[in-house]
Structure 1
Amino acid sequence: MTSTNSTVQTLIRGIIRDDVQALSAYHVPDASGFLKLDAMENPYRLPAEIQQKLAQRMAQVDLNRYPVPSYAGLKTALSQHFGVPAEYDVVLGNGSDELIAILSIACARPGAKVLAPIPGFVMYAMSAKLSGLEFVGIPLNADLTLDTPAMLAAIREHRPAITYLAYPNNPTGTLFDEAEMEEIIRAVGDSGIVVVDEAYQPFAQRTFMSRLPEFPNLVVMRTVSKLGLAGVRLGYMSAASELLQEFDKVRPPYNVNVLTEAAVLCLLENAEVFEQQAADLRAQRQQLSIQLAALRGVTVYPSSANFLLVKFTDSEGKAGQSPSFADQVFTKLVERKILVKNVGKMHDLLHSCLRITVSTAEENTVLLKALQQILE
């Protein structure tokens, strides 16, 4: 056994890239038995009537056949429902993660760079590194808004092939200023693409999708995950047709499975259910924000997403160093079978912060009662 392990380690050192060996795998904690408020999921299950419609539709799927690789029907339905401009197409992915990987692969010329504000979605940097691209992160301002002068300076210096702007941003929930984003898109010009990631658009109700014709270098990316379909894993992006054709060349031909395709087509016919759920969660976000901010030592940052970034300070008004006060709160929530996301180590701006998914009124009440007990 020792000899086998030694051989495997030799293989790894010899064939696996050094930067890959240095990485840690993306960790998803086991949430069995927990109140799950860590992954920005829609907490609502499908109504019984729609469950029956979905079951009937899924039963008719030919599982023995590959998907039709053009996905024409699904793309048309997505475009019509989500306001993709006329004459603009979409490219589909197995969630936004695959779309980000597609962009990275397509743009991975020697010396190419990826630029994004930080803290931001971790997959921008990870996908860039896995594709051999250099990632350049520009810290947000202390109030978690864009440092636009720093972004513009970085664009002049690095001429990034890809610039990401999450609208709103994860993990902060910030809805960046639209005029500042326009300035960044224009500054990049024809030297790169600007990807506006609208994963949380149902909760922000703001979009750049309708503005695609204004900016030849603009890519708008979305997912159906936050709308309430995280389990089906479907993302889509739109841009100028010539750009999409290049990105489509590196997309695996059968990357969206037939069950996902059938499920999304069925559920889009009942889209008003998800729109009402999003409206309910927007109302719960406002209520939860007010209730959390009323707790001792709690600061709630403005959010346009379906989560809240919350900072915790101790009785003396200190966030603490290591472990931070938020680390202690996180541990005590876990003891009470409540799982939130501890983002304190992601970036200095997030020190002593937890990211909390907005859920139903009932689940939000459970969280609030637990926090009251912990903070007392």
Structure 2
Amino acid sequence: MSARLDQLIATRIRQDVQSMHAYAIQDSRGMVKLDAMENPHRLAPELQRALGERLGAVALNRYPGGRIDDLKKALARHAGLPDGFGLMLGNGSDELISLLAMACDVPGATVLAPMPGFVMYAMSAQLQGLKFVGVDLTPDLELDERAMLDAMALHQPAIVYLAYPNNPTATLWNDAVIEKIVEAAPGLVVMDEAYQPFAARSYMDRITRHEHVLVMRTMSKFGLAGVRIGYMMGPARLVDEVDKLRPPYNISSLNCETALFALEHEDVFAAQAAEIRSERERLQAALRDMGLKAWRSEANMVLVRVPDADRSFEGMKARKVLVKNVSRMHPLLANCLRLTVGTADENAQMLAALRSTL
């Protein structure tokens, strides 16, 4: 059986897939979990009860129906979507990124994005058979305007991804540089606003300027990481073309109802985001007081450079604090850790654990 299975994998599974590694999720049981940019706050007990009653009334014997349209309308209102623009849903942003790669898979198509950046841009391109071009940021992790413009002129990408703010750097790109890139792009530009609840600016107020720009968001950072709902907005005709590739019923009835419930209580989640932003400022100040380089964050994470990332990561883990060691993701991230902003108590534990490793 083993020899047959070996042969089956060797001859029927794509070679590039065999050489890949699955997306790794760290075991967080018993840990202060600050490795995945999740909202650390849970719903108040009375809201949990109200949500439970509502989910208990969902007709699970039926496929998702009209409530999906209700969710799309609610998200459009929440985002301030202009007239003439469309919105589509994805099972998280990851599915939307995959659908975009499928939609733009024409002969010779290329996907381009700054690096270091979100790993799914390159992975989705590879899995769809598209070429991926990564353009390094500057040494201080800003967009390299000249390098981006030159790479676009050379490769003529079908899709340019601009994470706004970026992951894992948490930086919010310079708007003047972004506009030059958007205007020069020969294909689609996707503004990935996964961390919009924590950022000072959004591209939504400029979305009507360009017919080739899509804005992508997720409810994961809104506070519903376990619900897996992403959404993408742009000119209706353009969104409709990508939406043709969406699997039927890709959003479950339970997830849909949970998202609608959350949007009805968006003031609660806005207050949570405000608290996270406040904690982020205290966290950055504490890291600077330690003499560490911490990049200015516009997300719910902070990128920090330590003397020895492996030592600090393992030392913090031994003290039951889990963060993300990104030091091997890209040469520009040498000795860097990505710290998710947690509650005041979680952040205090994280800082104490980090301080003990320095």
Structure-2 separation of matches of 1:302 and 1:179: 18
Deviation at 1:68, TM superposition (A): 1.7
Deviation at 1:86, TM superposition (A): 2.4
1:71 aligns with 2:68: yes
Structure 1 counterpart of 2:269? 274
Structure-2 separation of matches of 1:164 and 1:235: 16
Structure-2 separation of matches of 1:69 and 1:221: 23
Equivalent residue for 2:42, pick from 40, 45, 49: 45
Structure 2 counterpart of 1:372? 355
The gaps in structure 1 that reach 5 residues or longer are: 314-324
Structure-2 separation of matches of 1:103 and 1:289: 35
Structure 2 counterpart of 1:167? 164
Deviation at 1:62, TM superposition (A): 0.4
1:27–1:69 Cα change, 3 Å: farther
Structure-2 separation of matches of 1:71 and 1:86: 19
Deviation at 1:70, TM superposition (A): 8.3
TM-score (norm 2): 0.98
Once the two structures are superposed, what CA deviation does each residue of 1:146-177 show, in whole Å capped at 9, x if it has no partner? 00111000111000000000000000011001
TM-score (norm 1): 0.94
Equivalent residue for 2:346, pick from 359, 363, 369: 363
1:88 aligns with 2:85: yes
Structure-2 separation of matches of 1:266 and 1:41: 19
1:6 aligns with 2:8: no
1:117 aligns with 2:114: yes
Deviation at 1:85, TM superposition (A): 1.6
Q: Secondary structure at the match of 2:133?
A: strand
RMSD: 1.0
Structure 2 counterpart of 1:311? 305
Instruction: Give the paired residue count.
Output: 358
Structure 1 counterpart of 2:235? 240
Residues 76 and 87, structure 2, Cα contact 8 Å, conserved in 1: yes
Equivalent residue for 1:347, pick from 324, 330, 335: 330
Q: Secondary structure at the match of 1:185?
A: helix
Structure 2 counterpart of 1:316? none
AA of the residue aligned to 2:190: V
Structure-1 separation of matches of 2:265 and 2:238: 32
1:137 aligns with 2:134: yes
AA of the residue aligned to 1:139: D
1:21–1:116 Cα change, 3 Å: same
Residues 39 and 341, structure 1, Cα contact 8 Å, conserved in 2: yes
Q: Secondary structure at the match of 1:92?
A: strand
Deviation at 1:69, TM superposition (A): 7.3
Residues 113 and 160, structure 1, Cα contact 8 Å, conserved in 2: yes
1:293–1:228 Cα change, 3 Å: same
AA of the residue aligned to 1:206: R
Residues 67 and 256, structure 2, Cα contact 8 Å, conserved in 1: no
Identity in percent: 51
Q: 5 Å matches for 1:186-205? A: 186-188=183-185, 191-205=186-200
Q: Secondary structure at the match of 1:154?
A: helix
Structure-1 separation of matches of 2:276 and 2:95: 27
Structure-2 separation of matches of 1:80 and 1:370: 42
Q: 5 Å matches for 1:321-332? A: 325-332=308-315
